[in-house]
Amino acid sequence: MKFFHYRELCAQSFVILSILFLSLDLNAQQYRLQTDTVAKATQLVRSDLTIAAQRPFSQTLSLWGYNLAGPYNKTLNVHLQLNYFNDFAADTQRNDVYLSHRFNRISITQAWIQWKPFKRIDLKLGRLVNRSIFHAKDVDGASVSLSFGDKTRWKTSLYGGRHVTGRPESLDPDQYDIQGRPIELRQNNDRSEFIYGLRSRLSFQGGSGSIGYEKRFTSSSISDERIAATLTGNPTQRTIVSGLMSFHTPSRTLNRGQLNFTWRPNDFFYLRQGFEHIIPIFDASSIFNLFGVAPSQSLTSTAWLGNNERGLEARLWAKSLQEDLNTSDLGSSSTDLRTFGFAIRYNERLNLFGRALRLSPSISFQPGDSQGYSRDQFISRLNARFPLDSVKVLAGSTLLWVGSDIREDSQFVFTHRLGLDFPTSFGVFSLGGVVQTSQYLGNHLSLFGTFETELWL
């Protein structure tokens, strides 16, 4: 869901009219229509003790057209997705520049045409979601993919266009971007950001590997560039190994590295070990880059024992924050911050009065560090899922307790959740509520209502 400026309306309208023209002029084999309606009521206390009460309403309309070149020529598809948003709680503040975006906003989420002129070539044009090693990004542009082989498959994708930044119509009143500004103000940023990149992936029996390159730049010559590689494989039938490396070229830094190893000797047990190295590098224009960032490294271990009826999962983790910026000592310096913790989760499926009841209790604990950077943290959670006639019920409670230190006393937060799904012949209607009680900020209340339906023609 992205905002568009009025000067972009002509170009966006051209894409929509082209999609509609193709849909009406040609004989599509299938159409798919999906709508999502979301309503929310909040009564939240912000960190500055002011009250945020929003009544947002969002309506999303998605349309797909498949095989527009005819039922026997599956080479042309289209997709259009629009979103309408309004906040009924802020009618008296329509002239406020911080809130003006909350009234009768229509945003274009996706609008693209997909064409496959040959079996091995896939072209997309319009506003599309591009998925790469560097996560998904929305682009106003084009992508082309070439693939070869069947059992051993090689696929290369090129993409480029205007990077669609900013988030519209947030349902969270405390959303801010990485620079500390309200995210709604980014819609008025005249500095366009562009992006291009490639990804090449080789898949074979027992594994796959890929490399990726991506660069972002703006009209003011601020740029951000990254190179990454991934590898996944099965050295044996009972083991899985995966890894990722990402290199940030402007800072000449290996900003991210991951290595995971999983051993599963049978269907009832697995053991997973993981290591992660991160140097947080924000967007090129972020002010946080001026102050420098500390690398972090973490080790995780997960063991699971059970089956579909019941299972027990245990996790251990250790993390270090390299305050001396030396990543080679693995957090052993006296100035480095070190934390560790554990978590246990149990799943049980019971038959209660002829109905399936899913219970999932869990606890986790992380003690504070000796430097006073963090305090003791304990989390206890209980979730339950069960049917009640034709209604599906989800209920849960969470307790968060934070220990005391020389500055503050111990604190706790209780969160209670209740969700109801009402399946019907024409869609799914859902109701939900979240109540949160904290020692410091008092009570929070959020109510949700959603309706989702889908139609194939």
Cα 65–68–74 angle (5° rounding)? Answer: 100
- 400 token code pair: 């968060």
Q: Which amino acid is at 391?
A: V
User: In 3-state terms, what secondary structure has residue 389?
Assistant: coil
Cα–Cα distances (Å) from 247 to 40, 254, 266, in that order, read: 41, 4, 37
Give the tens place of pLDDT for each residue, 354-371.
Answer: 788 999 999 999 998 766
Closest C-alpha to 16, from 61, 47, 55:
61
The secondary structure element, H or E, covering residue 11 is helix 9-25
CA distance 107 to 361: 40
Give the pLDDT score at 138: 84
Give the pLDDT score at 153: 93
Give the pLDDT score at 223: 76
- 260 token code pair: 């995971």
Give the tens place of pLDDT for each residue, 259-303.
Answer: 999 999 999 999 999 999 988 776 555 555 555 567 888 999 999
Give the pLDDT score at 222: 67
Question: pLDDT tier at 326 (50, 70, 90 boundaries)?
Answer: low
Q: Report which DSSP code applies to 367.
A: P
Number of Cβ atoms within 10 Å of the Cβ of 108 = 24
Cα–Cα distances (Å) from 406 to 371, 374, 410, 439, in that order, read: 12, 12, 10, 18
Give the tens place of pLDDT for each residue, 143-196.
Answer: 999 999 888 999 999 999 988 765 444 444 444 444 444 444 444 445 678 899
Instruction: Give pTM, 2 decimals.
Output: 0.77
β-strand pairing of 310-321 with 337-352: antiparallel
CA distance 261 to 444: 41
Any idea of the CA torsion for 167, 170, 174, 175, to the nearest 10 degrees?
-20
CA distance 452 to 450: 7
- 413 token code pair: 């937060």
* Full DSSP string of 41-77: EEEEE-TTS-EE---EEEEEEEEEEE-TT-TT---EE
Give the pLDDT score at 328: 65
Using the Cα atoms of residue 328, residue 134, residue 2 and residue 165 in order, give the sign of their dihedral.
positive
Give yes or no for a contact between 224 and 215, defined as CB atoms under 8 angstroms apart: yes
Give yes or no for a contact between 357 and 350, defined as CB atoms under 8 angstroms apart: yes
Q: How close are the terminal C-alpha atoms of the chain, in Å?
A: 25
